[in-house]
Amino acid sequence: MERIHSINPERIAWCCADHGITMGDLASEIGIATASMERMLVGEDGLTFNQLRKIADYFGRGVLFFLEAGAVDEARVHTPQFRTLANQKPELSAKLKSLIERVEKQRAVYLSLREELDDTERPQFSHPDLPRQDAVGAAHIVRQWLGLGDQNSFDTYRAALEARGILVFRSNGYNGKWQIARENPILGFTLYDPICPVIVIKKQSWETQQSFTLMHELGHLLLHKASSIDDEHDLQSHQGRERDANAFAGHLLVPDAFLGNIRDVERPGEVSQYDVWLEPPRTACGVSGEVILRRLLDVGRLPQSQYAAYRQWRAESVVMQKEGGNRMYRHRKPRHVFGDTFVRTVLDALNARHITLAKASTYLDGLKIKDLHQLERLYVGL
């Protein structure tokens, strides 16, 4: 089989270093003999096109990237937003780095399709001026800006953000290229852009947990106008920008008026009963009991010891997550991951014949043609 000898080994080495793996790890991951890789690196032999394509797919690059001469210009390869996240969390896994780059590519696809459709009615990102040093006041303004009612859920919060020109992606719960692994501590990140920002939320056991992460990331986006990546520690922080984002999220999700309806005299003696006690406001706000308790703690209506006891009880409560998914509902997955705004834009571009079925399938997580048609029927029925 014909081999390619014009491969730039420095670029493969750079990708390995960028992902924190060795050449041996790469050879093992993609099923190429280590000896073949070593001969290619010293210029004694080349690789087949299929072998080079495996390397390109593994690193999320095009084949031509490894045929270009010269060293890698990191400023061209990684966007400023990507570098911001990588600097904030230097320990990011290779898989998560690939996910961030994949999200950026999806945003580029969305903007390109939006331009081709020339649809001025499609959501455009803009937001009111906010008091950047007053996260609480900003939360009140943003709640009105989003048009939130008295009953909300993760889906209504997501729809409200999308209506304001913010793409909201949510990771898959099962293994795949759109998953944030369960053991990974990252809960979400935002990629700031003045034209089309993107917020990515990790799928969690309960959607109410996702609501706080979503609004925390929105706080970074609107208050700080910056990209950010956050884990559990950040969502509990009392310092700097994380403190501001947490205060913003808490007041946006649970305004003072909602707290006024909670009767402290009815608080149970056992922390295991707190969720039952808080069920009405939890349901109305679409948040976890912990978010409400944190608000009660901050206003002096709950002792720190009881809040800590509740968190410990929650941490010890094992929640079994379902693995995989029902093949019957495969056509709904793109909507779950990418949201209505992105999916509708792809389907509109397909209907207008700006893209082929194959392209639409690629943009919608490799959806099979029959599933894509099912997805179209789903939207026609909405």
Q: For residue range 339-373, what is the model confidence (pLDDT) as tens digits?
A: 999 999 999 999 999 999 999 999 999 999 999 99
Torsion, Cα 351 354 356 357, to 10 degrees, reads -30
Residue 2's pLDDT band (boundaries 50, 70, 90)?
Answer: confident
- Per-residue model confidence (pLDDT) at position 292: 96
Q: Judge whether residue 320 has pLDDT over 60.
A: no
Range of the domain at 57: 9-77
Whether residue 234 is contained in a domain is answered as: no
Q: What are 29-39's pLDDT values in tens digits?
A: 899 998 988 89
Lowest mean pLDDT among 43-52, 151-160, 207-216, 271-280: 43-52
Whether residue 180 is contained in a domain is answered as: no
- Per-residue model confidence (pLDDT) at position 319: 59
Whether residue 236 is contained in a domain is answered as: no
Residue 328's pLDDT band (boundaries 50, 70, 90)?
Answer: low
Whether residue 34 is contained in a domain is answered as: yes
Task: Write down which residue in 49, 77, 105 finishes a domain.
Answer: 77
Q: Judge whether residue 270 has pLDDT over 90.
A: yes
Q: Judge whether residue 285 has pLDDT over 70.
A: yes
Q: What are 112-140's pLDDT values in tens digits?
A: 999 999 877 778 898 899 998 899 999 99
The answer to whether 80 and 19 have CB atoms below 8 angstroms apart is no
- Per-residue model confidence (pLDDT) at position 174: 77
Average pLDDT, the chain: 91
Whether residue 69 is contained in a domain is answered as: yes
Whether residue 232 is contained in a domain is answered as: no
Whether residue 292 is contained in a domain is answered as: no
- Distance between CA atoms of residues 89 and 333, nearest Å: 29
Residue 175's pLDDT band (boundaries 50, 70, 90)?
Answer: confident
- Per-residue model confidence (pLDDT) at position 132: 84
CATH of the domain at 33: 1.10.260.40
Task: Write down which residue in 77, 100, 129 finishes a domain.
Answer: 77
Whether residue 59 is contained in a domain is answered as: yes
Task: Write down which residue in 18, 49, 77 finishes a domain.
Answer: 77
Number of separate domains in the chain: 2
Q: Judge whether residue 321 has pLDDT over 60.
A: no
Concatenated DSSP letters for 318-375?
Answer: --PPPPS--GGGGGGHHHHHHHHHHHHHHHHHHHTTSS-HHHHHHHTTT--HHHHHHH
- Per-residue model confidence (pLDDT) at position 326: 55
How far out from the chain centre does Cα 24 lie? 31
